[in-house]
Every structure is written in structure tokens, then in C-alpha cells.
Amino acid sequence: MIPSEIADTLTELFGTETVGAIAPGSWQVETATFRLLVMLSDDESWLRVLLPIMPASEAQPFLEQFLEANFDDTQEVRYALQQGVIWGVFQHSSGSLTAEDLRGAIARLISLHQNGLNNVFNRLIEKRIRQIIQAAKQQGQSLEATMQNLDRFYAEGLMGEIDQTSQAREEVLGVWRYQLERLWNEIQ
């Protein structure tokens, strides 16, 4: 893609009022919910599209999950860390880039931005649940015994919120049961 094709694609996606050229070969898309940066390399051979996701300080506990997502889930885009920010990044040779590729990458970057920590948090929670199942099985516990332990931990206040209502506790335990049942047979 040449610069004019990139500009046209951005305008097609976002409109003329939100797309601005910030330098030759560089554009910024400013919306109410995000700021997307699109930059060509000096020799115009590579295109990079960047979207800030969150401050690195907020993401610190989940860095392993971000890297796992890069490996398993993000497809043509990646999470990256630069200047204290977690970014969604797409890089591609501009010579072989198509408008369809660029639109798809931008859509995926916006999805990463909208999801924020949700996907990586869920990945962390699933990892912890798998560890709980593995520990329970090593101790010879059944699924029901594991659920009884969790129920007791909530009843004794070791888990959950201090002012949690019984209805909220039952909802949380229902989610625990669902996750344990879903993963129980996958773990040896």
C-alpha cells in the first residue's frame, strides 16, 4: 500500500473528521474511546499500527497472560510494552499489505483495546482453577469434595467479600462449580 491508499482506508473506516496526518507517512485516528497511530517507516517499506491498551503498571500482574495471548490468540496483532504502556501493535510490509489486511488488523486492535484486561484476567483465572484442580486431585479429592471445601472457605470468610450476601455467594459458587466441572476431566 502506498501512503494515499493507507489514508483512504483510514478515512473510509473512521471518517475525515477523526483521521489526521501528523507527519508525512503518519496518521492519528482520534475517537472518543481511543487514539490509533499509523506510521510508515522512513523508507515506507513497513507499516506499523499502534493502539494504547493500558498503563503497564495496571498490566504488570498479567504480563505472562499477555505473552500467552500473543502466542495463542492475537493472530496478526501483538501486545507490546513501550514507554510504560501496553500497546496493541500490527506491523506489516507495506509492499504486500492490502486494504483488507489493514482493516482486519485495525478491527483486531480495537477489539484488544475494548477487551482491556478481560481476556488476560480470564486466562489467569483459568490457570488458577487448573492449579486448584490439580492440587485437589493430588490429594485424592473428588469434584464434590473440592466444591465442599470452596463452600466452607466462603462460609468461613476465607474467600469472598466480607459483606457478601448469601445470594451473591451462591452465584459465585455456581461459577466455581461451572468452571470446575468444565475443567475437571481435562486435568490429570
* pLDDT tens-digit series, residues 15-51: 999 999 999 999 999 999 999 999 999 999 999 999 9
Grid coordinates representing 17 are 473528521
Looking at residue 127, what is its pLDDT? 87
* pLDDT tens-digit series, residues 130-166: 998 999 999 999 999 998 988 888 888 778 777 778 8
Average pLDDT, the chain: 91
The secondary structure of 26-57 as a DSSP string is EEEEE-SS-EEEEEE-TTSSEEEEEEEEEEHH
Q: Per-residue pLDDT for 80 more than 80?
A: yes
Looking at residue 169, what is its pLDDT? 80
Q: What is the pLDDT confidence band of residue 175, given thresholds at 50, 70 and 90?
A: confident
What value does the mean pLDDT take over residues 170-174?
A: 85
Q: How far apart are CA 121 and CA 88, in angstroms?
A: 17
What value does the mean pLDDT take over residues 87-94?
A: 96
- Going by C-beta distance under 8 Å and a sequence separation of 6 or more, which residues neighbour residue 110? 34, 36, 51
Q: How far apart are the first and last CA of the chain?
A: 50
